[in-house]
Structure 1
Amino acid sequence: MKIDLEQTLARLQQDFIENTKEKLDGVDHAIDQLFQDKGDRGEFFFQLQRDVHSLKGTAGTFGFNSVTVVAHRLEDFLESHQRLSKEQWLGVQAFLDAMRAIIEKGIEPSDDERMKILSRLPFAKRAGISGQKQKIVTVVLVMPKGVQRALVGSELSACGFDVSFAENPLEAVGLAITLKPQVVLSNFEFPEINGCELARILQVIGSTLKIPFALMTSHEEKSGSMADIPDNVQVIRKGPDFVEKITEYLMGLGLFGESLPEPQGKA
Structure 2
Amino acid sequence: MAIDEDLLAQLKLDFLDHTTDQLEEIDTTINNQLAGKIPPQDALKIIRRIIHSIKGQAGSFGFPTAGIIAHRLEDFIEDDKKVTPELSINMHAFLDKIREIAESGVEPSSEEATGIMRKLPVKRSTSIQSTAIDFDIQTHEVEVLLVTPSRVSGKIVREELQACGFRVVRVQFALEAFEFAVRSKPDVMIFAMTLDELSGSDLARAFNAMVATSHAPVAVLTSFSLDHPGLQGLPEGISVIRSGATHFPDDMGDFLARIQTECM
The bucket for the TM-score relative to the shorter chain is 0.7 to 0.9
Report the alpha carbon displacement of residue 142 of structure 1 after superposing the two structures with TM: 1.2
Which residue identity is paired with 1:47? Answer: I
Which residue of the partner structure matches residue 32 of structure 1? 31
Which residue identity is paired with 1:197? Answer: D
- Cα deviation code 1:22-59 (max 9, x no counterpart): 11110111222334454121111011111101101101
Secondary structure of the structure 1 residue equivalent to 2:78: helix
Structure 1 window deviating more from structure 2 (26-35 vs 62-71): it is 26-35
Which residue identity is paired with 1:139? Answer: V
Secondary structure of the structure 1 residue equivalent to 2:263: coil
State how far apart, in whole Å, the 2-side matches of 1:77 and 1:245 are.
Answer: 28
State how far apart, in whole Å, the 2-side matches of 1:182 and 1:171 are.
Answer: 17
Matching of residue 156 in structure 1 with residue 161 in structure 2: yes
State how far apart, in whole Å, the 2-side matches of 1:4 and 1:219 are.
Answer: 48
8 Å CA contact retained: 1:222, 1:229: no
Matching of residue 147 in structure 1 with residue 157 in structure 2: no
Matching of residue 49 in structure 1 with residue 48 in structure 2: yes
- Cα deviation code 1:206-254 (max 9, x no counterpart): 2111211111112121332221222211111111156534651343124
Structure 1 runs not aligned, ≥5 long = 263-267
Which residue of the partner structure matches residue 64 of structure 1? 63
Structure 1 window deviating more from structure 2 (6-15 vs 217-226): it is 217-226
Which residue of the partner structure matches residue 7 of structure 1? 6
Closer/same/farther in 2, CA of residues 53 and 242 from structure 1, 3 Å limit:
farther
- Cα deviation code 1:154-184 (max 9, x no counterpart): 4434543221112122211221222111211
Closer/same/farther in 2, CA of residues 68 and 151 from structure 1, 3 Å limit:
same
What count of residue pairs does the alignment treat as equivalent? 255
Q: Any runs of at least 4 consecutive aligned residues in structure 1 with deviations exceeding 6 A, and if so which?
A: none
Which residue of the partner structure matches residue 265 of structure 1? none
State how far apart, in whole Å, the 2-side matches of 1:96 and 1:184 are.
Answer: 26
State how far apart, in whole Å, the 1-side matches of 2:29 and 2:189 are.
Answer: 33
Matching of residue 223 in structure 1 with residue 228 in structure 2: yes
Closer/same/farther in 2, CA of residues 158 and 37 from structure 1, 3 Å limit:
farther
Higher-RCO chain (CA-CA 8 Å, sequence separation at least 6):
2
Closer/same/farther in 2, CA of residues 141 and 133 from structure 1, 3 Å limit:
closer
8 Å CA contact retained: 1:56, 1:68: yes
State how far apart, in whole Å, the 1-side matches of 2:31 and 2:246 are.
Answer: 41
State how far apart, in whole Å, the 2-side matches of 1:136 and 1:215 are.
Answer: 22
Secondary structure of the structure 2 residue equivalent to 1:249: helix
Within a 5 Å distance, the mapping from 1:157-196 to structure 2 comes to 157-196=162-201
Within a 5 Å distance, the mapping from 1:117-156 to structure 2 comes to 117-125=116-124, 127=126, 134-156=139-161
State how far apart, in whole Å, the 1-side matches of 2:48 and 2:247 are.
Answer: 30
User: Equivalent of 2:249, from 225, 244, 249?
Assistant: 244
8 Å CA contact retained: 1:102, 1:108: yes
State how far apart, in whole Å, the 2-side matches of 1:98 and 1:158 are.
Answer: 28
Which residue of the partner structure matches residue 261 of structure 1? 263
Which residue of the partner structure matches residue 110 of structure 1? 109
8 Å CA contact retained: 1:34, 1:45: no
Structure 2 runs not aligned, ≥5 long = 128-136
Structure 1 window deviating more from structure 2 (116-125 vs 150-159): it is 150-159
Which residue identity is paired with 2:204? Answer: A
Which residue of the partner structure matches residue 98 of structure 2? 99
Matching of residue 206 in structure 1 with residue 205 in structure 2: no
State how far apart, in whole Å, the 2-side matches of 1:182 and 1:234 are.
Answer: 15
Within a 5 Å distance, the mapping from 1:72-91 to structure 2 comes to 72-79=71-78, 85-91=84-90
State how far apart, in whole Å, the 2-side matches of 1:136 and 1:89 are.
Answer: 23
Percent identity, aligned pairs only, is 32
8 Å CA contact retained: 1:152, 1:243: no
Structure 1 window deviating more from structure 2 (74-83 vs 88-97): it is 74-83
